[in-house]
Structure formats: structure tokens, C-alpha cells
Structure 1
Amino acid sequence: MLRLKAKYRITSRFAFFSVFVGFLFWSFFLDSHSYIAFKRHEKELKQLKRVHEQHRISIEKNRQRLKELSENNGDLEKYARERFYMKKRHEKVFVVMEE
């Protein structure tokens, strides 16, 4: 009888261990909230934060440029001519492209 209990004790330990390993495998690799998915989302979040910071800097530069252009009409005309190739009547504009 004692020998029979020892046999069941070993198999029950093995069963608990198997269930525990199976649970860890499931939670780390197969679940929708797995560790791999967590790392993937964390990487994506870091990338989105970098893009957000770049856009914030770009917006700040554009606000500064808009402020400068609204204060001085000479700069506004220069900016329009350079950027949008605007011209006055009876004026010819030549655009030189570098190769």
C-alpha cells in the first residue's frame, strides 16, 4: 500500500509540474496578451512616441516661421517667391535646378 501511494505522489507531482509548464507556455507564447505581443506593442509605442516628438518639433518650427512671416511683409513676399514661384505681372521667373 505504501508503495502504491508513492507512485501516485510522483505522478501527481509530474501532473502539477506539467500543468504549470503548460500554463507558462500558453501565457508567454500563445495568449493574446503574451510576452511577445507585449514587447511588440512596446516597440511600436516607442516608435510612435518618436514620431510624435518629431511632429511636435516640426509644428513649433512652423509656428515660429509663421510668426516671422506675419510680422514682416518683405519676408512674406520673399518666402512666396522662393517657395511657390510667385511673380509679379510682366515679370519672368527662371527656375534653376541643380543636377
Structure 2
Amino acid sequence: ATLLKATKRGGAVASTGLVDSADLPTSVFPFILRGVSLLGIDSGFTPTELRREIWNKLAGDWKLSQLGQLKIDCNLEGLDPEIDKILAGGQRGRVVVDLQ
């Protein structure tokens, strides 16, 4: 819903799978009042050769230089503060927990 609020008039938002759930907690207003489009990504039927080409670009020319900043590593002992941040809405990116 926050992403929709930040989308400019006539813009588009893409949805790429069901990571958390199929729910979309929003109203139709961003779509009908500002002409925002919701685009679904059907990668399941993308030809293998095109997938390889895209993955190679993501690993090369399109690689994000700051991708490492979107991930936090922690062990089980450091997990409680990270959970508190998530519950407070203050976590950005992903938390990778080392179970060893």
C-alpha cells in the first residue's frame, strides 16, 4: 500500500509472486483516481533462454551495487532485536539467520 501511495499519476506497480500471501491490502482509489496500473509478472512460462539472458544481466550490467545493504546477517542470539525491529516496522531488507 505504501508503494501505491508513492507511485506517480499514470505509473505502474509490478507484483512478482506470493512471497508472504496473496493479499493486497489497499483500495481501488490509487488505480481509478491516479490511473495507476497493477502489472502481474508471469515468469512461470518464460522461455529458458530468456531467463538465462535476464539472470546474466542481473549478475552483470544490472547488478545493484548496494544489494548487500538490503541484508542483515545474525545468529540466534541476535535475533530478538531484529524481530523487535520487524514488529515495530523499522526493518529494511531481509534478515538471514545463521542457525549454526
> TM-score scaled by structure 2?
0.21
The structure with the greater share of residues assigned to helix is 1
Normalising by structure 1, report the TM-score.
0.21
Larger radius of gyration: 1
- The higher relative CO (CA closer than 8 Å, separation ≥ 6) is in 2
> Which structure dedicates a bigger proportion of its chain to strand?
2
